[in-house]
Structure 1
Amino acid sequence: MSTPASSDAARTDAVAGSPPASTIIGADVGGTYARLGWTRLQPDGSVSVNGFRKYACAEYPSLAAILRDYADWLARETDAPPIAHAVVAIAGVMDGDNLLNTNLAWPVSLAATQRDSGLQSLELINDFVAVAQAMAHAEADALHLICGEPERVTAGPAVVLGPGTGLGVAVYLPGGTPSVLASEAGHAALAGSNALEHDVLRLLSQRYEHIDNERVLSGPGLITLYTALCELRGSTPRWQSPAELVDAARSGSDVLASQSVDVFCAWLGSLAGDLALTFGARAVYLTGGITGHLSGPLHAGGFQQRFLAKGRLSAALKHVPVWRVEHGELGVLGALAWHVDKRTTR
């Protein structure tokens, strides 16, 4: 990912001219967890995730340490052949050899990571390029329809939107070269659409010079939103983590927690509709950890109402299906699929 709008990988090779690896590691690295798996490349281009493992990033001193631990585990505990190549899906953009990211537990140098992990070659791709790439490989039972009419879908771009530690956005372009358009839309300015959202933005503008989409539409953003609503209502915040807040909203024990979740889902629906119009999307996929925790509220209607609230262009979104995706290995699958797609389009 040489620029924010490119799906090209940053790459380092220890052996120039070495043949493409037939067995590779795929990794999905976020601000909280790193998920890893491996696959053997198949002649038909199919992809499967083997040896899936999850690491807490804060428990390791570097990305290289996680990759090295996983490779050592493979050699010790599985029948996987020796693996010399890895594709890592990771949030951020490359600035020369260094990754620019605001959510990781440690800095990432491409060359140092390849050297210290013991891998012969390494590629870094944008995390949401990988997630979008995985859409073509996701099983049907991982997709849960929020709104729209999937039977009327025509071929075209698909927006992939994922609130988690941050907010990832990418566009899948079936048949395109490249097949995924990376984006930093999570850092574009957040727009309000009603009086309450404008009040929240006014309050946040007193603390932040730039209020981007992920400031509110992410896991940490849900707490930011809740804290702002407490301040607007003259209440003292009771919850410090998204999990606590969601549990309180689910149980009905805290009105402000419930309102925060409802506002969050509606605001996310508004952004999803904006992005669908911007890219002429034929489908929208919601991924990311927070969407699983908010499955009930996302299907309750507020998201759909705001997704369609685009004035005279509402009709353009009426038939666009919005899917919530539940797939714990999606980023790993996408990293591996990206490598396979790159090989087949050479």
Structure 2
Amino acid sequence: MPETSQPMRSNTTPSEAMTSRSISSTQSLAAPRHDSPRLLADIGGTNARFSLETGPGRTEHIEVLPCAGNRSLADALTAYLSLPHVASAGAVRHAAIAIATPVVGDIVRMTNHHWEFSIAELGRRMGFDTFVVVNDFSALAMALPYLGDEGKRRIGGGEPIPDAPLGLIGAGTGLGVSGLIPGYGIDGGPARWAALRGEGGHATFAPVDETEVDILRFARRQFAHVSAERLLSGAGIELIHRALSQRYGRAVEPLAAAQITQRGLSGACAVCDEALDVFCGVMGAVAGNLALTLGAQGGIYIGGGIVPRLGERFDRSRFRARFEGKGRLAAYLAQIPCYVITAAYPAFGGVAAILARQIDARS
């Protein structure tokens, strides 16, 4: 399914969960409005983000609910739609959800959370006329051509080639991977983007030095298959830290990813700092593989909740060296720019565009 966004926040604390947020429209109050508000959602393994689109470019009433605080997606939807300021906006007839799991057929089961549901049944239960469910990174990919300079930070590379494929990778609760491929209408008109629906985060992890070989050996004691996601995720940072602690003969502290990150960034712990360095290096290697696979000369975009929190530490890490370190193709990769997505809720614009296409098609 061809699939586009707006601003993102990952790993929001429970205290933020029921805080109302709005994104002011850049259009005037006289801008077009939908005949009814449209529900947009971005469901990750940790948080469920909801908003209402009241008109093109108008995203309002943003709420972030912890997934663990709701037994099901239906409960989370009901909780959001029952909020007084949301309910007062009017009945929702059309809804689109981006979710962190493969979407194939009617039954959806989340990879990193226990929610599962039937798309048709949930749509009927909520009373939606239109209900679309897509992979979260397919939705995010559709937003990439529309991110302004204020919504991204560049890390190396040359100028992007217009209408060339774009790559997308992002680490949070899991590792999302997608891409955006330009195509042309049957009338030979302007390019029309199509988002890839893949699960590249589960491709096999390939170590490149002795440290990563030791980490792989450590991980294989726990997992029959060690994917890139096993290292490039919140749980992955914790695994890297445990593996390095064992490698250096140190007692393994049961630290959470946020603690490892904080200690690494502050310089309080050398092992934590090295864990971040390994994470950034592996991210560079996987992103470089994606760039080669897609021919992503339009750029590689990095989303998810982890990398934006690393700030300058990521920019001066081994990421770029590992991204380009592909032997004979190093010069090719050196020209490809990489961008960290800094916009607050980037998936909303993607699901909005997907939903608009579905409504137009039905019309």
TM-score (ref. length: structure 1): 0.87
1:56-77 CA-partner distances (Å, limit 9, x unpaired): 111111111111222222x645
Change (3 A) 1:76 1:300: closer
- Shift, 1:175, TM fit: 4.5
Identify the range of structure 1 (194-203 vs 314-323) with the bigger mean alpha-carbon deviation: 194-203
User: What corresponds to 1:290 in structure 2?
Assistant: 306
Structure 2 unaligned runs (5+)?
4-33, 185-191
The partner residue of 1:256 within 264, 271, 278 is 271
- Shift, 1:214, TM fit: 0.4
Distance in 1 (alpha carbons) for counterparts of 2:296 and 2:86: 44
Give the conservation status (yes or no) of the 8 Å contact 1:7–1:182. Answer: no
User: What corresponds to 2:321 in structure 1?
Assistant: 305
- Shift, 1:290, TM fit: 0.4
Distance in 2 (alpha carbons) for counterparts of 1:209 and 1:298: 30
User: What corresponds to 1:210 in structure 2?
Assistant: 225
Change (3 A) 1:259 1:170: same
Change (3 A) 1:89 1:68: same
1:52 aligns with 2:62: yes
Letter of the structure 1 residue corresponding to residue 162 of structure 2: T
Give the conservation status (yes or no) of the 8 Å contact 1:21–1:84. Answer: no
- Shift, 1:178, TM fit: 5.9
Helix, strand or coil at the partner of 1:211: coil
- Shift, 1:48, TM fit: 3.5
User: What corresponds to 1:11 in structure 2?
Assistant: none
Helix, strand or coil at the partner of 1:298: helix
User: What corresponds to 2:173 in structure 1?
Assistant: 165
Distance in 1 (alpha carbons) for counterparts of 2:360 and 2:129: 22
Alignment of structure 1 residues 1-346 onto 2, 5 Å: 23-42=37-56, 47-73=57-83, 76-77=85-86, 80-94=89-103, 96-150=105-159, 152-175=160-183, 179-282=194-297, 283-341=299-357
Give the conservation status (yes or no) of the 8 Å contact 1:87–1:124. Answer: yes
Q: Alignment RMSD, CA only? A: 2.2
How many residues were matched structurally?
A: 324
- Shift, 1:35, TM fit: 0.6
Letter of the structure 2 residue corresponding to residue 193 of structure 1: V
Helix, strand or coil at the partner of 1:289: coil
Letter of the structure 2 residue corresponding to residue 140 of structure 1: D
Structure 1 unaligned runs (5+)?
1-5, 9-19
Identify the range of structure 1 (328-337 vs 175-184) with the bigger mean alpha-carbon deviation: 175-184
Give the conservation status (yes or no) of the 8 Å contact 1:308–1:317. Answer: yes
Letter of the structure 2 residue corresponding to residue 100 of structure 1: R
Give the conservation status (yes or no) of the 8 Å contact 1:266–1:306. Answer: yes
TM-score (ref. length: structure 2): 0.83
Helix, strand or coil at the partner of 2:131: strand
- Shift, 1:208, TM fit: 1.1
Distance in 2 (alpha carbons) for counterparts of 1:28 and 1:333: 10
Helix, strand or coil at the partner of 1:51: strand
Identify the range of structure 1 (304-313 vs 48-57) with the bigger mean alpha-carbon deviation: 48-57
Change (3 A) 1:110 1:78: closer
- Shift, 1:184, TM fit: 0.3
